[in-house]
Structure 1
Amino acid sequence: MGEVILLLADVVNFFHELIWGISRGLGLNFTDKQLHFWVIGILGIIGLIFIDIIFHMLAKWSITSISFLFTFAMVLVFVFAVEIQQRITGAGNMEFADAAYSVLGFLAFCVVYLMVKGVTKWIRR
């Protein structure tokens, strides 16, 4: 797990330096804060447009699918926060397998929930 975080940090650092160099080469002379403002702002709005299109398509099919995706994203953030906290405090081992099993637990309970929901809906017909 620590290796994954270090790899992600290296990737982020590579792109940070690349964008920083391009902006300097164009004579923009952004501060680090200004660079973050523009890059995260642009990436965020692209992400919002993409997610908005997908969620509008999913809303026509099922609100539960949107609920699942939102909750899945929250679970991923929480799982990695727990793993990082374990690394910092030494309260446990920071392992990718722990994160994977955490996500599998969520997916297993989702399957049970969706089955109960489906059966309930089928009975009500």
Structure 2
Amino acid sequence: MRDIILFLAEIVNNVHDVLIVLLNDMLGLQLTDKDMHFWIMGIIGIITFAVVYMISKWLSQFKIGIHLIAFLYTLTFMFVLVFAIEIQQAITNRGNMDFIDAIIGLWGYIVLFLVYLGVILFVVAIKAVTKKLKNKKNITM
């Protein structure tokens, strides 16, 4: 996992250097590092917000949409959490920083969510069958 983080850090550093050259040298903007962080992260954030908003709006039109939105939001939170824990282990040397630990942690959430979903579907199915039997009984009487 350490190699993956170092590889990703190298990509971010290279993109950072390219942006400095593009924005400062080619366009002559003379942005400081803080200015670049402000604008680049702001742009990334607003684009991400727009995409998440459109997906959430589309999902909300379905009956199960709120569950999907909550699942995706929680999954995003879990990604941040498991990788933050693994990075913390590398920084403090408490535990082993391991990519597989992060994946297993995410699988734990997904499996327990599927169990939750199974229980919900079972309850919905029982209610539907009960309602159908009740309606059938009322019709024959």
> Where on the TM-score scale, by shorter chain, does this alignment land: which range?
over 0.9
Overall identity of the aligned pairs, in %: 41
Q: Which residue pairs with 1:15 in the alignment? A: 15
Provide structure 1 residue ranges, at least 5 long, that are not aligned to the other structure: none
TM superposition outliers: structure 1 runs of 4+ over 2 Å? none
Quick one: distance in 2 between partners of 1:79 and 1:110?
A: 17
Larger Rg computed on CA atoms = 2
TM-score, normalised via structure 2 length: 0.86
Quick one: distance in 2 between partners of 1:89 and 1:120?
A: 46
In the TM superposition, residue 91 of structure 1 has moved relative to its aligned partner by 1.6
The Cα RMSD (Å) is 0.9
Provide structure 2 residue ranges, at least 5 long, that are not aligned to the other structure: 129-141
Q: Which residue pairs with 2:133 in the alignment? A: none
Quick one: distance in 1 between partners of 2:82 and 2:102?
A: 6
In the TM superposition, residue 19 of structure 1 has moved relative to its aligned partner by 0.7
Q: Which residue pairs with 2:135 in the alignment? A: none
Amino acid at match of 1:58: L
Quick one: distance in 1 between partners of 2:50 and 2:92?
A: 38
In the TM superposition, residue 71 of structure 1 has moved relative to its aligned partner by 0.3
Q: How many residues are treated as equivalent by the alignment? A: 125
Q: Any idea what the Cα deviations from partners look like across 1:51-107, whole Å, max 9, x if unmatched?
A: 110110111121000000000001011101110111122221101111111111111
Quick one: distance in 1 between partners of 2:120 and 2:71?
A: 13
Amino acid at match of 2:116: Y
For CA contacts below 8 A with separation 6 or more, give which structure has more relative contact order: 1
Quick one: distance in 1 between partners of 2:92 and 2:36?
A: 32
Amino acid at match of 1:18: V
Please give the secondary structure, in 1, of the residue aligned with 2:124: helix
